[in-house]
Amino acid sequence: DVQLVESGGGLVKPGRSLRLSCTTSGFNFADSAMRWFRQAPGKGLEWVGFIRSNMYGGSTKFAASVRGRFAISRDDSKAVVYLEMNNLKADDTGTYYCTRESDFDSSASHWGQGTHVTVSS
Amino acid sequence: QAVLTQPPSASGTPGQRVTISCSGSSSNIETNSVNWYQQLPGSAPTLLIYSTNQRPSGVPDRFSASKSGTSASLAISGLQPEDEADYYCASWDDSRSNPGYVFGAGTTVTVL
């Protein structure tokens, strides 16, 4: 079974940094693009960014709202993907989901359970 | 606000057919595949539809989807109590200024 487990969430002050991890199993991680999404409390879904497989250069792309502040990296030897969040703002508060990109299109075929991030002083 | 436009709510009685619309533009729905996600209360989203009209294994065939031009729709035939959830449409947007994966604001389906 495909499993994705996020960790690293918590309470952080504005302007500080936080790194989320997503530990995966049950699929060929090295060949998979991975995506991060988030959901503010009581709000809808928002795409954060993705990282391609190293076969496609491991390139990344981000939503405008986080570009320049967030980074995504991957460790294929551990089947883990990371979301590094810097200069955090109150608007970054929410549940962050790690997902595996579908083999067929840009959809997110498998989701983790999410990890909560609260940015507050 | 959301790039794709969905109605905030929809409802029906068990067994009824419910349709959710999703309106976009030439830079997203018209040229790229549409996805639909279901989010049950208190749970993470799950993929309901990929490649505009394909169901992942395990998704009941009462869920169907289509698109025409810049609009897409999700239909639930034979509504069941367990279908009460939030539904989100999504698509890749090729806009030159800000390409990315965009969502609708979500539609809450209530089973009366």
Q: Is the pLDDT of residue A86 over 90?
A: yes
Q: Is the pLDDT of residue A82 over 90?
A: yes
- The pLDDT > 90 percentage for chain B reads 96
| Mean pLDDT along residues A44-73 | 97
Q: pLDDT by residue (tens digit) across A5-29?
A: 999 999 999 999 999 999 999 999 9
Q: How confident is the model at residue B97 (pLDDT cuts 50, 70, 90)?
A: confident
Nearest residue to A23 via CA among A100, A105, A106? A100
What is the CB neighbour count within 10 angstroms for residue A5? 14
Contact call for A64 and B90, based on CB within 8 A: no
pLDDT at A39: 98
Q: Is the pLDDT of residue B98 over 90?
A: no
Q: Is the pLDDT of residue A98 over 90?
A: yes
Q: How confident is the model at residue B1 (pLDDT cuts 50, 70, 90)?
A: confident
Nearest residue to A55 via CA among A76, A85, A26? A76
- Closest Cα of chain A to B51: distance in Å? 6
Q: Does B40 touch chain A (CB under 8 A)?
A: no
Q: Does B32 touch chain A (CB under 8 A)?
A: yes
| Mean pLDDT along residues B6-35 | 97
Q: pLDDT by residue (tens digit) across B79-96?
A: 999 999 999 999 999 998
Three state DSSP letters for B86-103: EEEEEEEECCCCCCEEEE
pLDDT at B17: 98
**Facing B44 at nearest CB: one of A105, A106, A112:** A112
Bridge partner list, B33: none
Q: For residue A102, give the chain B residue with the closest CA.
A: B50
Contact call for A107 and B105, based on CB within 8 A: no
| Mean pLDDT along residues B15-31 | 97
- Closest Cα of chain A to B96: distance in Å? 12
